[in-house]
Structure 1
Amino acid sequence: MSTPAPDFDQQLTGSPPPPPTPAASPGPTHAQPDWSDAADDEDFFLAQVRQHFQHCSGPHRNRILADLLNMCTTQQLSFVHQFVSPLLKKDPFTSLPDELCLRILSFIDDPKVLARASQVSRRWRDLLSDDVTWKNLCVKHDYGRRLSEVAYGVPSYAPNRPGALPISDPDFANRSFPGVLPGSSASGAPRSFDDTTNTMDSGRPKLRSYKSHFKQRYLVESAWRTGGRNTTRTITQDGRVVTSVHLTPKYIVVALDNARIHIFDRDGNALRTLQGHIMGVWAMVPWDDILVSGGCDRDVRVWDMANGYARCTGSRLILTDFVR
């Protein structure tokens, strides 16, 4: 992934760019030694030592520890080092406010580092569940989204859909986070992306988080860069040229230049073949279970992809040219 250019303020002040993203450090682990095989007289003696040590002053405690450490061997000092080192570590996110923690996380532009960091502790996972971090990451990677992609279940091929709306757009990104869907509230009051109660009450689809959007876009881009993995391969007997392909939430629609249209499910399994055109099919518009196709035979046909029947044909429109 390319690192985004420094913002305008950094260019004005001449401040250096942020340091490279370090790898997420694992959480401190402190395994207690097993003293289950100790004798009873040892436990009684250690109890007296602990009681005496608790009542000692600071300088007196330091003297006792110094005398004991001077008597230790190298192997015993190594044990002390391994035992004490985790106790000296402190997670800064446990004492810093959420605003500062999120500010620190905003300098991380590698999603793999954020994914590893979310496994450190519950506190880190809760911080990385905040959509602010993923919203900033969407801006850095230029993962803008269409308004039709904001809600689950809304097809990206909806008619009259607006163009791609960058998240950095001032009319959209500068609103109260997590944001609102423009035109979704009659009163004009902002509605959070996490506010699912009103969404479900109004019968509208659940709004999509920036984390879910980033994950989907990142996986798709990674698949394009690495070549992806071939999950299904279908070889038809046609052996003809593919003229049009559409991917919907339910179907994969493939048109060929031999007047046939093949319908597959999302896993690549063949469902049915639509036949009715007499020349190559070069144009298709799917909508749910409905498919409108046109081709070189100057016919426009409407299909029901659920059962494979042709609902109607538009040859009576007396088209004078190919439909593409």
Structure 2
Amino acid sequence: MARGSSTLYVPIVSPPTPAPSPRLSMSSRPNLHPEAFFQGLTFDPAHNSRQEFASLSTAGSAARRQYLASLLNECTPSELLFISTTIAPLLKRDFLKELPMELSLYILCFVDAPRTLARASQVSRHWHTLLSDEWTWKRMCDFYYFDTDRCGMRHATDEDEEEPLVEMERFADYPLDPALQWLIAKNRKRQHQSTSKELLDKSFSYRRYFKYSYKTMMNWRRNGHLLRAHRVPVVNPDSGVITSVALDADWVVVGLTNSRIHVFSAKTGVLSRTLIGHELGVWAVNLVSRGGYWGDDAMGSRHKRKERKRRGKERRWNEDDSLSSRLAGISLPNGPPGVDHLVPPSLRAALGLEERSGQHVSNQEDGTGEAEETEEFLETDLDPGKRSDDCCATEGWGQPNALVVSGGCDKVLRVWDVKTGYCIYVLRGHTSTIRCIKVLHNRPTAVTGSRDSTLRVWDVQRGRMLRVLQGHQQSVRCLDVCGNKVVSGSYDTTLRLWNVDTGECLHVMRGHFHQIYSVVFDGVHIASGGLDTTVRVWNATNGHCIALLQGHTALVCQLQLGPGILATGGSDGRVITFSLATFTALQRIAAHDSSVTSLQFDRRFLVTGGNDGRVRLFETKTGNYVRELTEPCESVWKVVYRKDTCAIMCKRAGKTVMEIWSYKPKETEV
């Protein structure tokens, strides 16, 4: 540096590289709203508010709610609508979709309202899939007591109707001749095929069945459809009285005191034909439905077959009796031959009389050892068998046509073919009016009770009387059957339990003080009512009276046994239901102003008809009145009903009126 110079030189150092600009953390970075880009904004205008709201987390939820409330108070209605539409999708959550299928179905099983389930099936596709599950609707059928056992898992074909399936294991213990081998092989093959069809048939739906049954039930509660009303002028007070009615799925059969029997279609209500042949009034009819199968109430139960095989006894076969009797395994008793050989071929087919190669094969016993074996096995039978139907209809034994068995004041029993209207048999034997008739299920055996104080057992397929049951001292007023047992009630104040196949009187039940007018039998209990205003319940095993039920003040003329319930109707207009477990009164209903002429109930409804001209519907469980089933009339004679059909027989404006109602849902509703 020169002397005298004031300039100071300092070395220049390069400046440091500048640090990167600071960036926002994930928690402090503003979330840009989509609308900010359209408005030209580069930042979130709610950033500061979000920071303030986040800082309130330490103050508790109350402070955060107060903050949100203050913001909502500053919003306009349109802004609140925007907030609502934005929040609603965030709150939606399909809990059934997030749960396993089993848990979802378990949750749905707590819903018993059909309308709720129907609305739930419209929520989403997943919910619709859940509510299409058959288990849910089967549970609903059970909850509402819709009988799924009878709805049929397999649709019958024409071949099935013409030649019913035969249970081949029934014949394992009997020696069969070569003439029957082809029939056995054919039926065995068809049984295997039918089992496969039942397993593979997917056409049946519990959902559709429940929908149909539920709508039918609601039609009972609200209104039905009158199919047809038939009116018959009454010439004199005794000529047009309806004495008996029978109903099945196809036919309604009505017996009158003018000696006529009218047959109506249960599906259309049209009068199909009138059966003319009785000379005097008809007092009892029984309808035998077409189809069915040969039953084993008499000799065919499994434990009997095992015992028979153990003893090594063999049947002796002749060539005079029907093939159907051999296939049934039922031992025919000794007696006069039938008149079936006089029946023309068309009516033989209607009776189910089968022929193969011009021969009939049967099992006529010698009257000693075989009969003793029959009686012995029947005494050890623990199965009570099928009880009689409440609508006076009987399951057939495989015959292609429905049959009507009738009796009345002309003392004869007549067997009719419903399809042709011809009278097949006129069976004589009673010496007084036939008052009551029952036909056993799946067997061509009819039992009649008469004012001549006897019961008679008939083979209505071959047209002959099998035996006479004697013991009553006065008129037999009523009877009921279950399996191969029949109980009869008489004006001599006693009841008798009989074995149909042997004719033995098993028990004589005494206790009533006046005439017996009604009796019902379910294989375990026997209930009887009469002029002494009481109802007695008897043990069918030993014949002892186990309960004396009181409550009526006049004749007890109507009885019905149901699952755990006994319903009684009397001339005092009362209907009383009793528990068979405790024998206490469940419901006491003042149903009519005069005598109860008809009484029938199921798990849901109780239908009564009275001499006051009313037909009323009640709830079985509570006894609550529901509605009137028809317009008031002068008097009601008979009322019978099935699931979706009801037949009402009454007198209106001096005429006998036969109304047939349908409660089926319309096709557009199913």
TM category (shorter chain) comes to 0.5 to 0.7
* Structure 1: 5+ residue stretches without partners: 1-44, 160-185, 188-195
Alignment deviations for residues 213-240 of structure 1 (CA, whole Å, 9 cap, x no partner):
444443444344x253233341321553
Alignment deviations for residues 136-180 of structure 1 (CA, whole Å, 9 cap, x no partner):
33343444554x4443557xxxx9xxxxxxxxxxxxxxxxxxxxx
Report the Cα distance in structure 2 between the residues aligned to 1:72 and 1:242, rounded to whole angstroms: 82
Report the Cα distance in structure 1 between the residues aligned to 2:146 and 2:48, rounded to whole angstroms: 61
Alignment deviations for residues 32-60 of structure 1 (CA, whole Å, 9 cap, x no partner):
xxxxxxxxxxxxx969459x99x99xx89
| Corresponding residue SS for 1:282 | strand
- Asked whether the equivalents of residues 302 and 310 of structure 1 are also in contact (C-alpha less than 8 Å), the reply is yes
Paired residues for 1:175-186 under 5 Å: none
Paired residues for 1:128-147 under 5 Å: 128-146=131-149
- Asked whether the equivalents of residues 262 and 270 of structure 1 are also in contact (C-alpha less than 8 Å), the reply is yes
Mapped pair 1:125 → 2:114: no
Q: 2:230 aligns with which of 226, 231, 235?
A: 235
Report the Cα distance in structure 1 between the residues aligned to 2:195 and 2:124, rounded to whole angstroms: 29
Q: Which has the higher strand share?
A: 2
| Corresponding residue SS for 1:76 | helix
Report the Cα distance in structure 2 between the residues aligned to 1:145 and 1:242, rounded to whole angstroms: 33
- Distance change in 2, residues 1:282/1:197 (3 Å): closer
- Asked whether the equivalents of residues 281 and 293 of structure 1 are also in contact (C-alpha less than 8 Å), the reply is no
Report the Cα distance in structure 2 between the residues aligned to 1:61 and 1:208, rounded to whole angstroms: 63
Report the Cα distance in structure 2 between the residues aligned to 1:215 and 1:110, rounded to whole angstroms: 12
What is the match of residue 266 of structure 1? 267
Alignment deviations for residues 289-315 of structure 1 (CA, whole Å, 9 cap, x no partner):
42223121422222233xx431512x2
Q: 1:98 aligns with which of 98, 101, 109?
A: 101
- Distance change in 2, residues 1:241/1:292 (3 Å): closer
Mapped pair 1:300 → 2:410: no
- Distance change in 2, residues 1:47/1:135 (3 Å): same
**How far is 1:100 from its partner?**
0.9
- Asked whether the equivalents of residues 253 and 263 of structure 1 are also in contact (C-alpha less than 8 Å), the reply is yes
Report the Cα distance in structure 2 between the residues aligned to 1:281 and 1:241, rounded to whole angstroms: 9
Q: 2:421 aligns with which of 309, 313, 320?
A: 309
* Structure 2: 5+ residue stretches without partners: 1-33, 52-67, 157-163, 165-190, 234-239, 291-400, 438-670
What is the match of residue 112 of structure 1? 115
CA RMSD, Structure 1 to Structure 2 (Å):
4.4
**Counterpart amino acid of 1:136?**
R
Identity of aligned residues (%): 30
Alignment deviations for residues 31-90 of structure 1 (CA, whole Å, 9 cap, x no partner):
xxxxxxxxxxxxxx969459x99x99xx89968xx9x98985222312431453145312
Question: Which one has a bigger Cα radius of gyration?
Answer: 2
**How far is 1:107 from its partner?**
0.7
What is the match of residue 290 of structure 1? 402
**How far is 1:129 from its partner?**
1.7
Mapped pair 1:318 → 2:429: yes
**Counterpart amino acid of 1:98?**
M
- Asked whether the equivalents of residues 69 and 77 of structure 1 are also in contact (C-alpha less than 8 Å), the reply is yes
- Asked whether the equivalents of residues 245 and 252 of structure 2 are also in contact (C-alpha less than 8 Å), the reply is no
**Counterpart amino acid of 2:214?**
Y
- Asked whether the equivalents of residues 93 and 101 of structure 1 are also in contact (C-alpha less than 8 Å), the reply is yes
What is the match of residue 385 of structure 2? none
| Corresponding residue SS for 1:235 | strand
What is the match of residue 276 of structure 2? 275
Q: 1:199 aligns with which of 197, 200, 224?
A: 197
Structure 1 residue runs of 4 or more that deviate by more than 6 Å after TM superposition: 59-63, 68-71
The normalised TM-score by structure 1 is 0.55
Report the Cα distance in structure 2 between the residues aligned to 1:218 and 1:134, rounded to whole angstroms: 11
- Distance change in 2, residues 1:134/1:303 (3 Å): same
| Corresponding residue SS for 1:129 | coil
**Counterpart amino acid of 1:310?**
Y
- Distance change in 2, residues 1:197/1:243 (3 Å): closer
- Asked whether the equivalents of residues 257 and 282 of structure 1 are also in contact (C-alpha less than 8 Å), the reply is no
- Distance change in 2, residues 1:234/1:48 (3 Å): same
In the alignment of these two chains, the number of paired residues is: 230
What is the match of residue 153 of structure 2? 151
| Corresponding residue SS for 1:318 | coil
**How far is 1:266 from its partner?**
0.7
| Corresponding residue SS for 2:118 | helix
- Distance change in 2, residues 1:82/1:48 (3 Å): closer
| Corresponding residue SS for 2:227 | coil
**How far is 1:132 from its partner?**
1.6
- Asked whether the equivalents of residues 274 and 421 of structure 2 are also in contact (C-alpha less than 8 Å), the reply is no
